[in-house]
Amino acid sequence: MDGIRTRDEERGRHEDPEENHESPASPPTERRGPRPAHGSTCGPREYYFRESVVFILPRYRGFLAESLRGVGFSLHPQKSLYAASVRTLVSLESARKFALQNAVFHGGKADAKAVLGRMLAEDASLRGRAQEVADHVERVVADVNRLPPEVQRAELSAIAPELLEKTTTIVGPKELPPLPNAVDGKVVLRLAPYPSGPLHIGNARAFVLNDAYAKKYHGKLLLVFDDTIGSEDKPLLPEAFDQVREGLDWAGVEFHEVLYKSDRIPLHYEWAEKLLSTGEAYVCECDAETLRKNREAMKACVHRIQSVDETIAMWKAMLAGEYAEGEAVVRLKTDMADPNPAFRDRVLFRIAERDHPRVRDRYRVWPMLEFSWAVDDALLGVTHVLRGKDLVMEDQMETRIWDILGVRRRPEFVHFGILRFKDLELSKSRYRKEIAAGHLTGIDDPRTWSLQSLRRRGIRPAALREFVLSFGLSLNDIEVPAETLYAENRKMIDKDANRYFFVPDPVAVEIAGLPPIEHAKAPLHPDFPGRGNRTIPVGPKVHVATEDFEKFRGKEVRLKDFCNVVLDHRARFASMENKDIPKIQWVTHGVNVHLVLPDGSESRGLGEPLVASLKVDDVVQFERVGFARIDHVSKAEVRAFFAHR
């Protein structure tokens, strides 16, 4: 799709002593100590930069050495310097601080993805090299996770005590660069989805940028469905028209007019006849193999030299059905010596006998996208075309047609790089086949990454928008982990998401020696005491997650917001004191919870009783599990879709 198609924590909250999650931090700042005298030792939290040489504190060298060596930095013979970039040092220090913070609030074990997301959310300049940062984070997290919990807390308190306090990061609006020759109130842009299925996250850069610029310039945004006939492999789907509009509505995209290419075919025919009459286009009967050989040899087709009258007669024969599908096409005359073979005499029209979802069999000669846009960009008054840099040849085709026909009012072409997600392959045609085969549940299956699936998981449209705009209008191709999007969403939903216990894969535990307590109380949200508390029933029999049971069996843990026990099938009550020990979620009895994960797998378990009172579309945080959107509530169970940690 032209413009949309693709080619094949910051958490901001004060941590409750019982809250077993990350707390926020202020954006990292560079701290520079005075230049040390020769032979002197740096202070406990100082480092000094001089050109590309970095003086590293003795206390930091242990955990930095391996990471720095791993990316090619060399240890100075004096063993006190590393040749490194300032940005890398700051990145590694931030990783250490955030890993310690994450570990302190997650039972001594930091999560690399959460740390990475925090770093990318704090410093957008790191996103362009997210994979490099991710590699650093993996090593730092592994080092931090080897430390005892008390050492983790002590080090965090020493190097970044502010991470144990509530902070708020204020993110200002992201300014897009101006469009060339743009006049406020006069800008006309267009989205051009190909209706073969719903829009997915890979289309987001196109529709977000177009919408943002239309709003920036108080202009118009046209939604023009590219519903030319398509192909056997990528057919038009009747339901896709509504699916596309549904996705754009969810994303907050405001379009001012909806048009369909299939309604504009007569206009395309008029322009085709004008073009054919100039002698700069012709009807070709060559088969695909002959065309390929001619292009490779930079040889003109035999039909290229036929007269205009012959060409017009053949064109009318195409329209009259005298040619079968594949027997004739219309080609544009270009330079047969063009460095790009694909640009040599490209196809403008072809015959297709398939029924169209909207106009059925009304037309059998269909324009290719480049020709249709040469017509419609001119007639619709489009002023700027924003499209991926992989579509530059489309610019050339439109320009060539305008040159021939003397079109003077033309849009500006503006390009951006491709945005890809690490370890994520997006394919509408593949998802369509897997849905038909029953391997996927539908277009909102989380594995499709459609806009419908993002909504179902609890991703906010504003988070998707901020995620896209954070990269600006750049020609650079960008590959990022999904955690980058999650970091934006986390900042938006954290304050609204009340906390609840969900115990996946539960195992029953009997607590011996438990005092006569009827219930425990836990805050709905640690940052907003005014919301009140949850009342959780207490009894000698509780359920904990199998993973926690196996990990902490025989050790003292805290049943969060309740008491401390030595964990076993027959556990022993230890105390009520809120100790600095691992904290785990628990329930006595509750509601069955079915949690659908992003990879399509499922996690089943028990939720605290209050979960049964949740409503569809509520976004909550299951403590120590992650954020989720409530999808279905019944007496039998509550179904939720996992968003992210």
Give the closest residue to 399 by CA, choosing from 311, 334, 349: 334
- The dihedral through the CA atoms of 175, 178, 179, 184 has a sign that is positive
**Cβ contacts of residue 621 below 8 Å, gap of 6+?**
21, 494, 497, 498, 499, 500, 627, 628
What is the pLDDT, as a whole number, of residue 334? Answer: 94
Tell me which amino acid residue 144 is: V
Looking at the DSSP bridge assignments, the partners of residue 605 are 504, 593
Average pLDDT score, the chain? 85
Structural domains of the chain, with CATH: 1-8+185-263+371-495 (3.40.50.620), 48-164 (no CATH), 265-367 (3.90.800.10), 496-645 (2.40.240.100)
The answer on pLDDT for 378 being more than 90 is: yes
**Cβ contacts of residue 454 below 8 Å, gap of 6+?**
201, 464
Backbone angles phi, psi at 499, to 5 degrees: -100, 140
**pLDDT for 523-532, tens place per residue?**
999 999 999 9
What is the pLDDT, as a whole number, of residue 368? Answer: 96
**pLDDT for 70-89, tens place per residue?**
444 444 444 433 334 444 45
Please state which of the ranges 158-162, 342-346, 378-382, 418-422 shows the lowest mean pLDDT: 158-162
Half-sphere exposure of 161 (CA within 13 A, CB side): 3
Please state which of the ranges 99-113, 218-232, 269-283, 472-486 shows the lowest mean pLDDT: 99-113
User: Quick one: the chain helix, strand, coil %, rounded to 5?
Assistant: 35, 20, 40
Give the closest residue to 490 by CA, choosing from 122, 101, 128: 122
The answer on pLDDT for 264 being more than 50 is: yes
Rg (CA), the chain: 31
CA dihedral (330, 334, 339, 342) in degrees, to 10, reads -10
Q: What is the mean pLDDT of residues 503-527?
A: 96
The three-class DSSP label of residue 529 is helix
What is the pLDDT, as a whole number, of residue 271? Answer: 98
The three-class DSSP label of residue 287 is coil
Q: What is the mean pLDDT of residues 627-633?
A: 98
What is the pLDDT, as a whole number, of residue 582? Answer: 96
What is the pLDDT, as a whole number, of residue 150? Answer: 73
**pLDDT for 555-600, tens place per residue?**
999 999 999 999 999 999 999 999 999 999 999 999 999 999 999 9
The answer on pLDDT for 204 being more than 50 is: yes
In the chain, the largest separation of any two C-alpha atoms, in whole Å, equals 101
Structure-model confidence comparison of residues 14 and 525, the more confident one:
525
Is-contact 124 480, C-beta < 8 A?
A: no
Looking at the DSSP bridge assignments, the partners of residue 502 are 607
The three-class DSSP label of residue 248 is helix
Cβ neighbours of 279 (radius 10 Å): 14
Cβ neighbours of 235 (radius 10 Å): 17
Tokens of 298: 């930079």
Is-contact 536 522, C-beta < 8 A?
A: yes
Q: How far apart are the C-alpha atoms of 386 and 417, rounded to whole Å?
A: 11
Residue 127 is classified by DSSP as: G
What is the pLDDT, as a whole number, of residue 127? Answer: 67
Under the banding of pLDDT at 50, 70 and 90, the label for residue 52 is: very low
**H or E element: which one contains 281?**
strand 281-284
Record the pTM: 0.75
**pLDDT for 288-333, tens place per residue?**
899 889 989 999 999 999 999 999 999 999 999 999 999 999 999 9
Please state which of the ranges 43-52, 59-68, 326-335 shows the lowest mean pLDDT: 43-52
Is-contact 106 624, C-beta < 8 A?
A: yes
**Rounded (10°) angle between helices 58-70 and 130-145:** 130
Is-contact 543 517, C-beta < 8 A?
A: no
**pLDDT for 101-118, tens place per residue?**
888 777 678 888 778 877
What is the pLDDT, as a whole number, of residue 15? Answer: 35
Is-contact 23 11, C-beta < 8 A?
A: yes
Q: How far apart are the C-alpha atoms of 644 and 24, rounded to whole Å?
A: 17
Write the DSSP string, 549-586.
HHHHTTSEEEETTTEEEE-SSEEEEEESS--SS-EE--
Residue 250 is classified by DSSP as: H
The answer on pLDDT for 10 being more than 80 is: no
Residue 389 is classified by DSSP as: G
The answer on pLDDT for 634 being more than 90 is: yes
Under the banding of pLDDT at 50, 70 and 90, the label for residue 2 is: low
Show the CA angle centred on residue 277, arms to residues 271 and 278, nearest 5°. Answer: 100
The answer on pLDDT for 119 being more than 50 is: yes
The three-class DSSP label of residue 63 is helix
Write the DSSP string, 171-215.
PPPPPPPPPTT--TTT-EEEE----SS--BGGGHHHHHHHHHHHH
Please state which of the ranges 71-85, 164-178, 413-427, 622-636 shows the lowest mean pLDDT: 71-85
Tokens of 340: 């790009």
Tokens of 343: 């640009």
What is the pLDDT, as a whole number, of residue 91? Answer: 62
What is the pLDDT, as a whole number, of residue 47? Answer: 32
Please state which of the ranges 42-51, 121-130, 192-201, 237-246 shows the lowest mean pLDDT: 42-51
The answer on pLDDT for 24 being more than 60 is: no
% of the chain exceeding 70 in pLDDT: 83
Cβ neighbours of 36 (radius 10 Å): 13
Is-contact 574 563, C-beta < 8 A?
A: yes
Q: How far is CA 483 from CA 117, 262, 383, 421, 480, in A?
A: 5, 40, 36, 10, 8
Is-contact 229 366, C-beta < 8 A?
A: yes
- The dihedral through the CA atoms of 459, 192, 236, 244 has a sign that is positive
Q: What is the mean pLDDT of residues 615-624?
A: 98
The three-class DSSP label of residue 160 is coil
**pLDDT for 170-193, tens place per residue?**
334 468 999 999 999 999 999 999
Strand order of the β-sheet with 365-367 is 281-284, 329-332, 347-351, 365-367
What is the pLDDT, as a whole number, of residue 297? Answer: 92
Q: How far apart are the C-alpha atoms of 490 and 612, rounded to whole Å?
A: 24
Under the banding of pLDDT at 50, 70 and 90, the label for residue 51 is: very low
Tokens of 614: 């949740």
Structure-model confidence comparison of residues 15 and 402, the more confident one:
402
**pLDDT for 430-480, tens place per residue?**
898 999 999 999 999 999 999 999 999 999 999 999 999 999 998 888 889
CA 592 from chain centre, in angstroms, equals 31
The answer on pLDDT for 389 being more than 70 is: yes
What is the pLDDT, as a whole number, of residue 642? Answer: 99
